[in-house]
Structure 1
Amino acid sequence: MNYKIDLRERLVDFAVNTIKFLGTIHYRKEYDVIRYQLSKAATSIGANYEESQASTPKEFHAKVAISLRESLETCFWYKVINKLNLGKEDIRRYLIQESKEISLIMGSIASKTK
């Protein structure tokens, strides 16, 4: 299977898994900002990467750069969630690792397309 298709599917899975995970966190008003910001950032990674596929090389790099920034923001919010010990630990650890790997992938693509 094509690498781009695999990555695109991986980004969709990451977005869906993040949304599902956020739904398992017990409700407290102060967690609303975490849910909102993390869901926006995690879904934006894949949305921008998907949009980059139908772009000029310059636009491709710009969209990948946005995906990189969003992936770094996602890592930040998962660090906050981890410090607060929210959600199931095994799922949280998996998503933290996945967010780190996605950031590395986006960084690599961005650096190769300058």
Structure 2
Amino acid sequence: MKPSPAQTKSYAFSIKMVSLCRKLMAVDKEYVLSRQLLKSSTSIGANIEEAIGGFSRNDFKYKISISYKEARETRYWIRLLISTGFISEEEGRSALADLDELLKMLMSTLKTLNRV
């Protein structure tokens, strides 16, 4: 089965965030914020996968809503890392742009589920 656009986008985003967190840990010796970012950013795609494997419509909707919340949390950590100088404005803007696309996809899915 072909992955959905949200699956593809969230997986690519996770890879980008793993690389960023590795850099933060190795180069900057920053472990607390990077761990929070790693957990929330990789959880987005993991919950999308769980949603697709859900047994009911409610299960699907619940997992997508968790993905949305994890994406919002990830947005917070990226903004904090920019503001504290751990990542550059450019690096942060790129990550936030990717994240905004994911948030739009997830919100659109949730709106559709709420209509039906």
What TM bracket, shorter-length normalisation?
0.7 to 0.9
Gaps of 5+ in 2: none
Shift of 1:32: 1.8
Identity of aligned residues (%): 23
> Normalised by the size of structure 2, how large is the TM-score?
0.84
Instruction: Report what 1:27 is aligned to.
Output: 28
**2: CA distance between counterparts of 1:23 and 1:71?**
19
One-letter code aligned to 1:20: S
2:60 and 2:104 mapped to 1: Cα distance? 17
| Alignment partners' CA distance in 1, 2:41 and 2:109 | 18
Distance 1:82 1:100 in 2: 16
**1:78 alignment partner in structure 2:** 78
Q: 2:38 aligns to what?
A: 39
Structure 2 match to 1:7: 6
Unaligned stretches of 5+ residues in structure 1:
none
After superposition, give the CA deviation of every residue in 1:18-46 in whole Å (9 maximum; x if it has no partner): 01012222334xx3221111101111100
CA displacement, residues 65-112 of structure 1 (integer Å, 9 cap, x when unaligned): 000000000000010011122235433321111112212221221122
Matches of 1:33 and 1:91 in 2, distance apart? 19
Structure 2 residue aligned with 1:100: 100
Paired positions, count: 110
Describe the SS at the equivalent of 1:113: helix
